Structure 1
Amino acid sequence: MAADNSGLQTVSRALAVLRCFQGDVELGVTDIARAQNLAMSTTHRLLRALLESEFVEQDEKTGRYRLGVALAEYGQLSYRRHLIYLAEPHIEQLAIETGTAVSIATRRGTDAINLAFTRWREAHGHNLSEVRFPLHASALGKALLAWSPTTSDELDTLPYHLGTDRTPQSTASLSAELEAARSAGYTINDEQTEWGFRIIAVPVLDPEGHARFALGMRGTTQLMIPERIPFLANLARVTAAAISDTLFETPTR
């Protein structure tokens, strides 16, 4: 049993090391050891194993580490498994029509994970590496919550300490926002995570009427003025319905 526990600890530590690279950065051994509170020797050993399996790669000049090609391979497999590539023509067309950056996300635990996004007119700014957002602090996450059978107990577990003073700070405030979103037909992030940008999101419903995915549109406050948001939300709902038809009427291969 001790050996099993030791093995599980090693796997857990290796996964924690990989999470250090979520910001799409290059890191040195000291950076990783400090971030994970690990001994340098342990960090070296974990990185060596990850390097051999191609989960990370090392810059020959600087000695620093970055994410490796193995993760790209697994990412492509997951991408195809979720049939997201079938949604791409729809999100690209919506981006062209509106001048916004469009993305599609799903839920993982207490976060929303972007699975695909466009880069139309650079409307999304410079944060291309950001793919994971707290559910309560993002329009995509709130759409996933609002149109799913989420309980109050689940809402209680969300990390309300993450976000800004403009994001919901409690289950009560989030519940009120989700109720308003269901009435409006869309959720909104009004400069809650980045000044100068608004994001609206709508659900992509499965055959049971639950939000399997969420479709988001991101643009500057000059582009997404309040008077234009209902129009944009309507376009997003039409696109979301088309994506739903495409994804859930296509047999899994």
Structure 2
Amino acid sequence: METPSDPNPSATGSVQTVARALSVLGCFRGGDELGVSEVARLQGLAVSTTHRLLTALVDAGFLDKDAESSRYRLGGALAEYGQIAYRQHRIYLAEPHLEQLATTTGASASIATRYGNDAVLLGTSRWREADGHQLQGVRLPLHASALGKALLAWSQVTDDELGRLPYETGTARSVPGPLELGKELALTRERGYAFNDEELAAGYRTIGVPIVGDDGLARFALGLRGPTELMIAERVPFFVELARVTAREIAAVMQ
């Protein structure tokens, strides 16, 4: 029996091209400038195919090409989309509260939401004394970040979802698998906050608390991050209470 052919192969090809282009765009998530060969190697694509995809992304404004080095970086169109998402999520309402929390504690304060296997930062305080130039990324693995664990602990996450997380990311201090993460999430719910003890970067700890809606689930989470010498055990209860108060204030203005 013959397998039915695709009734619209050109449409299938177009979808594959779009998926490849988006995957190529993801190579620039770290903020680096990359050349054609580097992107081709990362994606496992031919250089000619990669060049066509990069050119299409430049034409759309999603990437810029440096005329002298012929290297690519994120383009201005993404800033426009970022501003739209920023307003749609109403992050500007949370920013004054993040700044106040950061100024009071000397740590950096952030708000994040879940996207796939990551916690994605939507807003971060400008108070950077605690971080210096060691800024955290925009996407943080759920299992190895306090923000991610807070989002998971106050959600309807399934065992299958926990099993699919990329546990190879993080540091040697990160939870190694779904069984350990399940226990960590139970502890997180019991004490009312998540904790990251150098699980993403050596020398840094983060407290994570949920920003819950009327249904008791966390669409957002609030993180408070600082160096280990700031985030000592004696200060954690005080920082947690400040973070909880701030999370309630943010929940109220973002409803």
8 Å CA contact 1:204, 1:215 repeated in 2: yes
- Kindly provide the amino acid, as one letter, of the partner of residue 68 in structure 2: K
Give the aligned partner of residue 141 of structure 1.
148
Q: What SS does structure 1 have at the residue aligned with 2:254?
A: helix
Give the letter aligned to residue 232 of structure 2: I
Match of residue 201, structure 1, among 195, 199, 208: 208
How much identity, in percent, do the aligned residues show? 57
Q: Distance in 2 between matches of 1:129 and 1:185?
A: 24
Name 2:137's counterpart in structure 1: 130
Equivalent pairs, count: 248
Mapped pair 1:212 → 2:219: yes
Structure 1 residue 126, shift from structure 2 partner: 3.0
Kindly provide the CA deviation profile for residues 189-248 of structure 1, in whole angstroms up to 9, marking residues without a partner as x. Answer: 101111111111100001111011000011011111011111101100000000001101
Unaligned runs of 5+ in 2: 1-7
CA contact (8 A) 2:108 2:124 kept: yes
Q: Is 1:77 equivalent to 2:79 in the alignment?
A: no
**Contact 1:23/1:129 (<8 A) preserved:** no
Q: Which residue of 2 aligns with 1:230?
A: 237
Q: Which amino acid aligns with 1:92?
A: E
Match of 2:199 in 1: 192
Question: Residue 127 of structure 1: CA displacement?
Answer: 4.3
- In structure 2, the CA distance between the partners of 1:220 and 1:128, relative to structure 1 (3 Å rule), is closer
User: CA–CA distance in 1 between the matches of 2:133 and 2:28?
Assistant: 17
- Greater CA deviation, 169-178 or 123-132? 123-132
Structure-1 separation of matches of 2:11 and 2:186: 46
Distance 1:80 1:32 in 2: 32
- Paired with 1:169 and 1:157, the residues of 2 have a C-alpha distance of 12
TM-score (norm 2): 0.94
Unaligned runs of 5+ in 1: 249-253
- Runs of 4+ in structure 1 over 6 Å off: none
1:194 aligned partner, one-letter code: A
Q: How far apart, CA to CA, are the structure 2 residues paired with 1:128 and 1:16? A: 24
After TM superposition, give the deviation of residue 61 of structure 1 in Å.
Answer: 1.7
Query: Is residue 174 from structure 1 mapped to residue 147 from structure 2 by the alignment?
Result: no
Rounded to whole Å, the distance in 1 between the matches of 2:112 and 2:234 is 26
Q: CA deviation at 1:164?
A: 2.1
Deviation, structure 1 residue 28: 0.6
The SS at the match of 2:234 is helix
Hey, what does 1:18 align to over in structure 2? 25
What's the C-alpha RMSD, in Å, of the aligned pairs?
A: 1.1
| Higher mean C-alpha displacement, 19-28 vs 164-173 | 164-173
